[in-house]
Amino acid sequence: MTGKKVKFRFAFLTLIFLSLVLIVFLIIKSLEENVIYFKSPSEIKNLSELPKKKIRVGGMVKKSSVEINLDKINFIITDFKNEIKVSYSGPVPNLFTEEKGAVAEGFLKDREFFQATKILAKHDENYMPPEVKEALEK
Amino acid sequence: MLNQLGYYSLIFGLLFSVLAILQSIRPVVNKSNLISKNIYFSIFLQFLFVILSFTFLTSSFVTSDFSNLTVFNNSHTEKPLFYKISGVWGNHEGSLLLWLLVLTLFILIFVITSKKFDNKYRLLTIFFQEIIIFGFFLFIILTSNPFTYLYPVPSQGLGLNPILQDPALAIHPPILYIGYVGTSLVFSSALASTINKNINSGWAKHIKKWVLTSWIFLTIGIMLGSIWAYYELGWGGFWFWDPVENVSLMPWFCLTALIHTLLVLEKRNQLKNWSIILAISTFSLSMSGTFLVRSGILNSIHTFANDPARGLFILVFLFLLVVSAILIFFLYSKDENKNINWFSKDALIIINNWFMMYFLSVVFIGTVYPIFLEVLANEKISVGPPFYQKLIIPFLIPFLLTMILSTRLRWVKDNIYKINIKQISIFTLMSLLTIYFLNISDKNYLFASILISSSFFLFFNSLNDFLKKNIKLSQKISHLAFSCLILSILLNGIFSSEINTNMKEGDQINFEKKIIKFKTINFEKENNYKLLRGNFELVRPGKNILSFYPEIRVYDQPKISTSEADIKTDLFSDNFIVFSLLNDEGVFNVRYQNKPFMIWIWISSIVLAIGGFFAIVRK
């Protein structure tokens, strides 16, 4: 009888171990796939190669850069050292205005042009993206 | 004047918390274990001073006393009274004072209601809880004093963020906080009973009420935040896997697991250590939630402009609490003799606990990983919703099935031949429903079908449970509500449709056999904002015409514009129109969404909480 019990316990432990390995593997794999990197306009300037995956670009919306057409909005995100043109069609969040922080999510076409699929603005009207703050303090 | 009164009340409250710490630990140290009248006195006075201080802050807000920095930063004379009051906790300093208020109220309720328990346990619980309270007093007084004096006194305040001027959001923080703070009492009580070695079914019964209370408030609090995001942010989603949302979800997972573990402890006197571990983790997660939200460490769309130095205090405080809790746990916990059969209700509850822990760790990794990467590699990332969906949704299937099975099994041991005619008929019914739903959608995922069928399976089983006499009413209600929640979230996710377009006054568009007309736009003026009110019409084949009046508001103080969605709700779906101004030539961005079963998500969350309420009041 003890042999059976030991066998059962062994099978049970193996099962737990295997499922743990599987879970860790799953988590790491989907992390790799679903992580979205955040870049400032200056970081994009210095990229050695263009990322094909979705990224986020954050900074301040440049003064009087927002230009609105019937099907899309163009604006410029700046960190006061470098800037990038952003094109977007879709709803803009409530707090999106010129000279406020904004984050655009989408694809980088080249070092000067970003095609956004989503715009996120911060909830707090005084919020400034950290890298913009850093850039301003330098 | 109010400033000084409020500040000194806080100092007095701090003194009484120190007194209560000494009064609670001394009888334990000299082994007399006597509870003197003085300790009631200190706890009561401590509560009184905090409530005084809170009243002073509230009256500063109501009377717009701008000599107070917090009031100056967050209020304005033109603001409606309701939002002046909710402005008290709409900011960092005030919200912490609210935390403290609930903390001191809860310890007071605990001392009054726990008289039948043994003194050492009560003293130790008071001791641990008072240490937490003391920490919060220090935190508020040292880093976030809500009574900072401002001179010269400005004539007008800076105003409250208009996005936060919303009824759901006004009551969301206090309710969430009651949930968070309740977990602190569970934490103290768990540590106390570990030292006192009274973890048994009596303790389970007693602490269950606190666990359920926190769980109910947390459920409602999360739901309110989600409702607010749904209609105010104008995105139409209700859950974004945003870090700030995640930190409220993690303690919820833990508490839900704890409720079920306590059932096992109450009935079978098993899983003692596991209950303690869950109690400790729940509180740690609630505290780190506060820390993460308040420190501004999270790169979140919710981020509040904030001061990281405050985060450091909470981090150190949390670290000390958790380390000492773990030490106490290892020093005092005993080995228990496990006596669990693998085919019984007990075992299935444990298995579902593990699933809960898995969901928790997915959310935890997704939330914390970006912080680590930023610290270690200076790389800023965010983890997108697909991460969570991919890792959580597949595991919902075995989770739901285990949930069904566990309600059908007896405690201790059961045999496997329990699958009867009724189960088979339920299974057939749910397969037919699934086929129907998948036919009318164009997405024919095998996966979605299995998931939907298992949630229908749970749904009908929970309905069936209502006929049974040996199941508790609270369980019937909560499990039915949970199945409705999962179902409505799934169906909502699968069948939602939306269109985004730019329109001018007079335009109309076609979308999925529906016509959306932009009829007129009006300019109006309200007390503290100006507004543009659009009039849209939705013509649906075979149904009545719906009129929508979404608004764009431009607030005076601070100058911000917000879009207010107009949502027409019926039992089967929500129709949602929000618009925002694009340029001065009258072009608007219009977003129309059709969200099926939206109202059922809210209804089932409320019913879920009601189930918890029944668990408290009924034996």
Amino acid occupying residue B73: N
Within-domain flag for B332:
no
**Backbone phi, then psi, for B513, in 5-degree steps?**
65, 5
Please report, for residues B7, B45, B59, B376, the alpha-carbon distance to residue B3 in angstroms, rounded to integers and kept in the order given. 6, 20, 10, 43
Pick the range with the lowest mean pLDDT from B71-75, B216-220, B290-294, B451-455.
B290-294
Q: Predicted confidence band at A133 (pLDDT cuts at 50, 70, 90)?
A: low
What is the model's pLDDT at position B454? 82
Residue B566, domain extent: 497-598
Alpha carbons B517 and B528: distance in angstroms, whole number: 30
**Cross-chain Cβ contact A33/B558 below 8 Å:** no
Query: Which one of A125, A131, A133 makes the best mutation probe of the B interface by having the most chain B beta carbons within 10 Å?
Result: A125
**Cross-chain Cβ contact B303/A36 below 8 Å:** no
Alpha carbons B64 and A128: distance in angstroms, whole number: 28
What is the model's pLDDT at position A3? 66
The answer to whether the beta carbons of residues B92 and B112 sit under 8 Å apart is: no
The answer to whether the beta carbons of residues A101 and A129 sit under 8 Å apart is: yes
Task: Examine the pLDDT at B305 and tell me if it is beyond 60.
Answer: no
Pick the range with the lowest mean pLDDT from B37-46, B157-166, B275-284, B570-579.
B157-166
Task: Examine the pLDDT at B186 and tell me if it is beyond 50.
Answer: yes
Final residue belonging to a domain, choices B108, B132, B165 = B165
Query: Which one of B372, B389, B582 makes the best mutation probe of the A interface by having the most chain A beta carbons within 10 Å?
Result: B582
ipTM of the predicted structure?
0.73
Give residue limits of the domains in chain A: 1-35, 37-137
Q: Predicted confidence band at B6 (pLDDT cuts at 50, 70, 90)?
A: very high
Pick the range with the lowest mean pLDDT from B439-443, B444-448, B478-482.
B439-443
**Cross-chain Cβ contact B383/A31 below 8 Å:** yes
Alpha carbons A54 and A42: distance in angstroms, whole number: 18
What is the model's pLDDT at position B231? 79
Residue B231 has which token pair?
């209609």
Residue B215 has which token pair?
């769980």
Alpha carbons A21 and A19: distance in angstroms, whole number: 5
Residue A138, min C-alpha distance to chain B (Å): 17
The answer to whether the beta carbons of residues B255 and B215 sit under 8 Å apart is: yes
Q: Predicted confidence band at B619 (pLDDT cuts at 50, 70, 90)?
A: low
Top mean pLDDT of B4-18, B297-311, B430-444 is at B4-18
Top mean pLDDT of B4-18, B423-437, B487-501, B535-549 is at B4-18
Q: Predicted confidence band at B536 (pLDDT cuts at 50, 70, 90)?
A: very high
Among the listed residues B206, B72, B225, the one whose alpha carbon sits nearest the alpha carbon of residue B150: B72
Q: Predicted confidence band at B304 (pLDDT cuts at 50, 70, 90)?
A: very low
**Cross-chain Cβ contact A130/B299 below 8 Å:** yes
CA A103 to chain centre: 8
Top mean pLDDT of A78-82, B129-133, B176-180, B228-232 is at B129-133
What is the model's pLDDT at position B373? 79
The answer to whether the beta carbons of residues B408 and B344 sit under 8 Å apart is: no
**Cross-chain Cβ contact B235/A93 below 8 Å:** yes
Pick the range with the lowest mean pLDDT from A121-135, B145-159, B359-373, B400-414.
A121-135
Task: Examine the pLDDT at B354 and tell me if it is beyond 70.
Answer: yes
Task: Examine the pLDDT at B192 and tell me if it is beyond 90.
Answer: yes
CA terminus-to-terminus distance, chain B: 50
The partner residue sitting opposite A91, judged by closest CB among B384, B386, B591, is B591
> Which residue of chain B has the CA closest to A121?
B301
Q: pLDDT: is B149 or B375 the higher one?
A: B149
Residues in B touching A56 (Cβ below 8 Å): 382
Within-domain flag for B585:
yes
What is the model's pLDDT at position B502? 80
Within-domain flag for B79:
yes
Residues in B touching A22 (Cβ below 8 Å): none
Residues in B touching A92 (Cβ below 8 Å): 580, 582, 589
The partner residue sitting opposite B563, judged by closest CB among A89, A94, A130, is A94
The β-bridge partners of B569 are B574
What is the model's pLDDT at position B452? 80
Q: What pLDDT digit, counting tens, does each position of B246-259 carry? A: 889 999 999 999 99
Strand pairing of A113-121 and A83-88?
parallel
Q: What percent of chain B has pLDDT over 90?
A: 35
**Cross-chain Cβ contact B303/A123 below 8 Å:** yes
Pick the range with the lowest mean pLDDT from B257-261, B507-511, B605-609.
B507-511
Q: pLDDT: is B374 or B497 the higher one?
A: B497
Q: Where are the alpha helices (DSSP H) in B296-383?
A: 308-332, 345-377
CATH pick for A37-137 out of 3.30.70.1350, 2.40.50.140, 2.40.170.20, 3.40.50.1980: 2.40.50.140
> Which residue of chain A has the CA closest to B370?
A35
Residues in A touching B365 (Cβ below 8 Å): 27, 31
The partner residue sitting opposite B558, judged by closest CB among A30, A37, A125, is A125
Please provide the average confidence, as pLDDT, over all residues in chain B. Answer: 85
**DSSP class per residue in B84-111:** HHHTTTSSHHHHHHHHHHHHHHHHHHHH
Please report, for residues A7, A8, A9, A12, the alpha-carbon distance to residue A3 in angstroms, rounded to integers and kept in the order given. 6, 9, 10, 14
Residue B228, min C-alpha distance to chain A (Å): 13
Task: Examine the pLDDT at B315 and tell me if it is beyond 90.
Answer: no
Top mean pLDDT of A125-129, B312-316, B418-422, B480-484 is at B480-484
**Cross-chain Cβ contact B382/A127 below 8 Å:** no
**Cross-chain Cβ contact B382/A124 below 8 Å:** no
**Cross-chain Cβ contact A31/B369 below 8 Å:** yes
> Which residue of chain A has the CA closest to B554?
A94
Count of domains forming chain B: 2
What is the model's pLDDT at position B303? 47
**Cross-chain Cβ contact B235/A91 below 8 Å:** yes
Token pair 């701008």 in the structure block, residue: B66
Q: What pLDDT digit, counting tens, does each position of B72-120 carry? A: 888 888 788 888 898 888 777 888 899 899 999 999 999 999 888 889 9
Query: Which one of A31, A71, A89 makes the best mutation probe of the B interface by having the most chain B beta carbons within 10 Å?
Result: A31
Q: Predicted confidence band at A121 (pLDDT cuts at 50, 70, 90)?
A: low
> Average pLDDT of B322-345?
81
**DSSP class per residue in B551-591:** EEEEESSS--EEEE-EEEE-SSEEEEEEEEE--TTS-EEEE
What is the model's pLDDT at position B207? 93
Alpha carbons B403 and B256: distance in angstroms, whole number: 13
Q: Predicted confidence band at B478 (pLDDT cuts at 50, 70, 90)?
A: very high
**Cross-chain Cβ contact A92/B379 below 8 Å:** no
**Contact residues, chain A to chain B, C-beta under 8 Å:** 23, 26-27, 30-31, 33-39, 54, 56, 68, 70-71, 73, 89-95, 97, 103, 120-128, 130-131
Residues in B touching A131 (Cβ below 8 Å): 380
What is the model's pLDDT at position A129? 57
**Cross-chain Cβ contact B235/A73 below 8 Å:** no
Within-domain flag for B208:
no
Residues in B touching A33 (Cβ below 8 Å): 386-387
Q: Predicted confidence band at B380 (pLDDT cuts at 50, 70, 90)?
A: confident
> Average pLDDT of B387-399?
83
**Cross-chain Cβ contact B384/A122 below 8 Å:** no
Pick the range with the lowest mean pLDDT from B125-139, B189-203, B339-353, B512-526.
B339-353
Task: Examine the pLDDT at B441 and tell me if it is beyond 80.
Answer: no
Residues in A touching B374 (Cβ below 8 Å): none
Q: What is the DSSP letter of B164?
A: G
**Cross-chain Cβ contact A36/B500 below 8 Å:** no
Task: Examine the pLDDT at B284 and tell me if it is beyond 60.
Answer: yes
Task: Examine the pLDDT at B450 and tell me if it is beyond 70.
Answer: yes
Query: Which one of A34, A38, A46, A134 makes the best mutation probe of the B interface by having the most chain B beta carbons within 10 Å?
Result: A34
**Cross-chain Cβ contact B580/A71 below 8 Å:** no
Query: Which one of A5, A17, A30 makes the best mutation probe of the B interface by having the most chain B beta carbons within 10 Å?
Result: A30
